Amino acid sequence: MTQPTHLLYLHGFRSSPLSFKARCLSTWLATNQPQVQLWCPQLPPSPAQALALVMAGTDIWPVDTSVVVGSSLGGFYASVVAETRGWPSLLLNPAVDPARDLATHIGEQTAFHTPEDRFFFHASFVDELRAMAPPAITRPQRYAALITEGDEVLDWREMAARYAGARLRIVPGSDHGISDFMHHLPWCIEQLGLG
């Protein structure tokens, strides 16, 4: 893998750029690879708007030296970006079928890191997720995925099956947020070609 110059981090549902994993990566890059451009945008609730924001914001990024990292719903978005742009990707407990999973979350939601911030998740957003879902993962070798068996939100077996053929690190225990992420950071850095 070519040394990355640009890294896109996509957070999960109800999350933000204040995500623990995003901050860990940001701190590591600032210390070890400060020349790498990191962008972790606050994604709007609408999946179509989120994808439009990401694609517009990375439109002039170099094809050969850009990578994308995504967590949970952001992992689904990262797969869409990887399939569209051909970028290598690192997925952290990625959502496999968010249209199905988030259909039960229609209504008012609170932001995880700033609970005073509220947003409305519309039924039409489920349709947007369904419309953008890649039918299959092509070139699984472009993907790496960190999957925790203790994920209390998503089924680790479904994640592993979706990304069969990718570089998988399946961790016993842990949780959806990967609270022991610092332990896995060296592996993540290696998968991104940043080590």
Identify the CA nearest to 98 among candidates 162, 178, 142. 162
**How far, in Å, CA of 170 to CA of 159, rounded?**
10
Q: Is the pTM of this model over 0.85?
A: yes
**How far, in Å, CA of 5 to CA of 20, rounded?**
22
Is the CB of residue 75 less than 8 Å from the CB of residue 95? yes
Identify the CA nearest to 90 among candidates 180, 4, 183. 4
Q: For residue range 4-46, what is the model confidence (pLDDT) as tens digits?
A: 999 999 999 989 999 999 999 999 999 999 999 999 999 999 9
Mean pLDDT of 151-174: 97
> Could you tell me what percentage of the chain is helix, strand and coil, using 3-state DSSP and rounding each to the nearest 5?
40, 20, 40
**How far, in Å, CA of 93 to CA of 75, rounded?**
7
| CATH for 6-140+172-187 (1.20.1260.10, 3.40.190.10, 2.60.40.420, 3.40.50.1820) | 3.40.50.1820
Residue 142's CB is within 10 A of a number of other CB atoms, namely 18
Q: For residue range 146-160, what is the model confidence (pLDDT) as tens digits?
A: 999 999 999 999 999
Task: Indicate the domain borders of the chain.
Answer: 6-140+172-187
